[in-house]
Amino acid sequence: MYIGVDYYPEHWPRARWATDARLMRKAGFTVVRLAEFNWVNMEPSEGVYDFSLLDEALALLAKHGISAILCTPTAIMPAWLARAYPATLATQRDGTRLTWGVRKNNCFSNGTYRLLSKRITRAMARYFADTPNVIGWQTDNEFGHPFCHCATCRAAFQEWLRGRHGTLDEFNRAWGTHFWGQRIQEWAEITIPDDAGSHNPSACLDWQRFFSWLNVRFQHDQVRILRDLCPRHFITHNFMGLFKELDYYALARDLDFVSWDNYPVWGAPEIRYDAALAADVMRGLKRRNFWIMEQTAGPCGWGVFSRNVRPGELRNIAWQQCAHGADGMVWFRWRTCTAGREQYWHGLLGHDGRPLRRYKEAAQTAREMHALAPLLDGTTVAADVAIVYDYDSLWALRIQPGFAENDYQKAIGRYYRALFRAGVNVDIVPRDADLSRYKLVLAPALHVLPDDAADRLVRYVRAGGILLVDCRTAVKDGTNLCHPRTLPGLLTPALGIAIEEYDAVPGTMNCAVQGTPAFPGTFTAVHYTDWVRPRGATQLAGYTDWHIRKYAALTRHACGTGAGWYLGAVIKEDAFYDQLVRQLLDDACVTALLRPPAGVELCVRRGARHELIFLVNHTEEPQTVAVPAGLRDALRNRACAGRVTLERYGVVVLWRARRSPVAKSKRAKEQTAPNGRTC
């Protein structure tokens, strides 16, 4: 297992490097990431290359048994480049160019920038292809900015639209340009829409897709070179978890595996739902384990810094990611820089370079992870439940949320958090994923739903799957036009309902939701209600307010050998989602290994012969968890008797051999859901 730090030797005197390498090795670190923003040092003037600094650093690290991931340095252009080719700097909406001096300020369509980026990539790849301790590459840094509005980008957008839509007739249909007299008669007439303004939502969605594609293409230019010249090396990129601007599925396609940058310490201590969700999104991009390329090492901030990690918390943050499928752990950064914008983005070492508390905790974590590596090898998160995560829906809901407060990630979060509390692992999957391996699929707010995707969901239910969908699902087609159908459109056979009207519930307004005996309780609908008429579905909750008394809030419909659930409101109480998720899990015959106490996370990584059970305490109180018999404490290497105690922010990893597949399938056959459905 590779564990290490992001290291910037160019920030420190050469005399210090040996001390750094020695301390790294002492901590058990086996890898560093280098060269991320180092373009000007490697190409001090156009076409003149100098890799001596990296060479020297790599040789020293090699002596200490440390490998390296090199970055293509294209997230910061050298000053000479900006001066010689000002058009490489991105143009803002108002037509002014970005000023050189920050990072990530290039236009991704600019031919010169693409050419120079390929050249430095090729020069690096040639030079380091056979350096023994170079093991892989990170493309650029955190793709996703900036949006550029230059004439080249506009022309490229027009070209991309022509490729996507083929003819002007098709294009005009897709954008619905009969509205407001927006018919386009020549491709060159198309402008860049303003998503913050009142431009055509179909235009805004295509512009977002185009921007995403530009980044993917830019990366692809580099990947091709690296694959060609460095066939022994892996290629990854440092993603940003729940970042919204790019189609991360597409960006991941070219890579060997995904890495991501995890900084969960902003704000007060709280349960790390988002870090868990982000990790699952990252694992879902390629359906395989990932690395953490930048892991929280201390307070973070560029002007104001966040709170510091509490004792035990740095270790907790790292193990949480390992539990979700991280197979590599790289802390950002080794030592806190004394210069530049990131003086307060703290590393494992402070400005003083001394190996203190945070260093020691990382070293402890590294030791533990190395010890567990043979057991982690070949395992990944085992999930019977999937959540569909769809960038088209995310973007379309950002362009037009429909009701105030509507946010795609929050919509997913309501269920994700309840599943987290229930101790159930989740796979995050794209809209077109094969769902047949999942017992339960949740597709909240799946706003953009092309017909083939709807058909797939209906087939999934007919074939025995349990599906939950909710508000504003199936409203839009793939071009961001409203489907001319009664909602839930093509999903109707799976859901057995009709939604002829709906209602925003703004501000402090709300509606009382009353459960039936099958779904007991009184709850509060906020933000939005669908006026749902059951058409074959069973009503599980309804409203008591006079104007919507006859409508359902929650329904379940048996369809084929499966069932489709519909929730037509946003509910204020977490308890509602906890109860709903419990019922969905029952319906799908999914059982958690145990019910973790509040604030304790349960994750299972499974391999062919054994499984690892992670318990991660996200609270500042010790927690005791009752666990099934027959488990071993993998970190302490001893049997574990019935219960484990987790200290504040504590982590315990348990393991056991897997039951034989024969015994398991026999058991599965006998299973019946509490509502009588046979699983």
Judged by the rule CB under 6 A, the positions of this chain that interact with ligand GLA are 36, 141-142, 238, 261, 294, 332, 342, 345
Q: Choose the contact partner of 543 out of ligand GLA, Zn ion, none; CB within 5 to 8 A by kind.
A: none
Residue 287 DSSP code: T
The minimum distance between CB 349 and Zn ion, in angstroms, equals 39
Residue 36 CB, nearest approach to ligand GLA (Å): 6
Q: Which is nearer to ligand GLA, 248 or 332 (CB)?
A: 332
Q: Which stretch binds Zn ion (CB under 5 A): 29-37, 146-154, 512-520, 571-579?
A: 146-154
Q: Which is nearer to ligand GLA, 36 or 327 (CB)?
A: 36
| 148 counts as binding Zn ion under rule CB under 5 A | yes
Where do we find the tokens 């983005």? 345
> Considering only CA atoms, which of 111, 112, 211, 196 is closest in space to residue 160?
211
Q: Of these, 150, 475, 554, 589, which contacts Zn ion (CB under 5 A)? A: 150
Residue spans of alpha helices (H) in 287-407 = 313-323, 357-376, 391-399
Q: How many residues bind Zn ion (CB under 5 A)?
A: 6
Q: Tell me if 82 contacts Zn ion by CB under 5 A.
A: no
In angstroms, rounded to a whole number, what is the distance separating the alpha carbons of residues 100 and 79? 7
Comparing CB distances to ligand GLA, the nearer of 294 and 530 is 294
Catalytic-role residue among 43, 142, 313, 601 = 142
Minimum distance from CB of 238 to ligand GLA (Å)? Answer: 6
Q: How far is the CB of 35 from ligand GLA (least distance, A)?
A: 12
Interface with Zn ion, residue 107, by CB under 5 A: yes
- The interface partner of residue 611, options being ligand GLA, Zn ion, none and the CB cut-off 5 to 8 Å by kind, is none
Nearer to ligand GLA by C-beta: 215 or 238?
A: 238
Q: Which residue shows structure tokens 């369809």?
A: 559
When asked if residue 490 is in the footprint of Zn ion (CB under 5 A), the reply is no
Which of Zn ion, ligand GLA, none does residue 148 bind to, with CB < 5 to 8 Å depending on kind?
Zn ion
Question: How far does CA 428 lie from the centroid of its chain?
Answer: 9
| Catalytic choice (43, 294, 313, 611) | 294
Q: Which two tokens stand for residue 558?
A: 């048996």
Task: Give the Cα separation of 605 and 620 in Å (integer).
Answer: 25
CB of 212 to Zn ion, least distance (A): 15
329 DSSP β-pair partners: 3, 292
453 binds, among ligand GLA, Zn ion, none (CB under 5 to 8 A by kind): none
C-alpha dist (Å) from residue 641 to 631, 634, 638, 656: 8, 13, 9, 13
Please choose which of Zn ion, ligand GLA, none residue 153 contacts, taking the beta carbon within 5 to 8 angstroms, the exact cut-off set by kind.
Answer: Zn ion
CB closer to ligand GLA, 345 vs 519:
345
Measured between alpha carbons, how far is 555 from 500 in angstroms, rounded to an integer? Answer: 16
Q: Which of 3, 2, 5 is nearest to 334 (CA)?
A: 5
| Residue 177 interacts with which of Zn ion, ligand GLA, none, CB < 5 to 8 Å by class | none
The residue (of 261 and 587) whose beta carbon lies closer to ligand GLA is: 261
Question: How many Å apart are CA 320 and CA 326, to the nearest integer?
Answer: 9
Q: Name the minimum Å distance from CB 293 to ligand GLA.
A: 8
Dihedral (Cα; 416, 419, 421, 424), 10-degree rounding: -130
Six-digit token pair at 667? 């058991």
- Picked from Zn ion, ligand GLA, none, the partner binding residue 327 (CB below 5 to 8 A depending on kind) is none
Go through 474-507 and write b for each residue having 16 or more CB atoms within 10 A of its CB, e for each that does not.
bbbbbbbbebeeebbbbbbbbbbbbbeebbebee
CA distances 272 to 279, 287, 390, 624, Å, are: 11, 22, 22, 19
Could you give the CA distance from residue 216 to residue 206 in angstroms, rounded to a whole number? 15
Site for Zn ion in 61-80 (CB under 5 A): none
For the question of residue 294 being annotated catalytic, the response is yes
Closest distance to ligand GLA from the beta carbon of 141 (Å)? 5
- Of 100 and 239, nearer to ligand GLA (C-beta) is 239
Q: Hey, which residues does 633 pair with through a beta bridge?
A: 638, 654
Catalytic residue annotation: 142, 294
Task: State the residues that interact with Zn ion by CB under 5 A.
Answer: 107, 109, 148, 150, 152-153
